[in-house]
Amino acid sequence: MQQQQQWRKLSGQIIEGLIEDEVRETVLREKENGNELKVCIGTDSQVKTFIEKTARGKETEFATVIVFVRKGKGGFMYIHNEVTRQKMSIKERMLLEVAKSIEIAYSLCNIFTMYGVDMEVHADINTNPNFKSNDALKEAMGYIQGMGFAFKAKPEAFASSSCANKVVQ
């Protein structure tokens, strides 16, 4: 049995129940209000040092966002945060960000298809080869496109590089 992820709105309001149900209700409400939607899903992470009474080390916090863009009318997002103490290289971390985005995109894609909502998966990976994250670009692009999703990387990947970046503590 899959553990239910805790999602929230930017305001901090906790989403009770499944994110799939919340997203379906959101799409129906927005369509009823005449809004044309696009959804962008992305994840960002940040490595931090933690200090406890008996230990000191590194932990990585991930923030995954589902960004609803109302064409010409702004947008809003849902947020999920999680922390791990698993040690990983930057390439592993970038690909784990992509995997987290794909996991939620896959769980929601049938809803978006049913209601004609365009969806993109955004990767917080730099297209400039001078940046370390670029090492994961080809694998990330192949992974996302191989799952049948539209792919965006920096600087076009605002869901991961701007929205998720703002909520990763």
Q: What is the mean pLDDT of the chain?
A: 93
155 belongs to a structural domain: yes
More confidently predicted of 131 and 100: 100
Q: Which amino acid is at 119?
A: M
Q: What is the mean pLDDT of residues 82-89?
A: 93
At residue 38, the pLDDT reads 97
At residue 53, the pLDDT reads 80
Strand partners, 8: 14, 79
Confidence of residue 126 (pLDDT cuts 50, 70, 90): confident
Q: What's the total number of domains in the chain?
A: 1
Q: Which residues of 69-91 are buried (b: 16+ CB within 10 A; e: fewer)?
A: beeeeebebbbbbeeeeeeeeeb
At 101, is the secondary structure helix, strand, or coil?
Answer: helix
Main-chain phi, psi angles of 165, to 5 degrees: -60, -35
Structural domain harbouring 98: 8-167
Asked if residue 2 has pLDDT above 70, the reply is no
Kindly state the tokens that stand for 26.
Answer: 């959101």
3 belongs to a structural domain: no
At residue 1, the pLDDT reads 36
Q: What is the mean pLDDT of residues 30-50?
A: 95
2 belongs to a structural domain: no
At residue 169, the pLDDT reads 65
Confidence of residue 128 (pLDDT cuts 50, 70, 90): confident
Asked if residue 56 has pLDDT above 60, the reply is yes
More confidently predicted of 26 and 134: 26
144 belongs to a structural domain: yes
Asked if residue 33 has pLDDT above 70, the reply is yes
At 5, is the secondary structure helix, strand, or coil?
Answer: coil
Confidence of residue 54 (pLDDT cuts 50, 70, 90): confident
Q: What is the DSSP letter of 30?
A: H
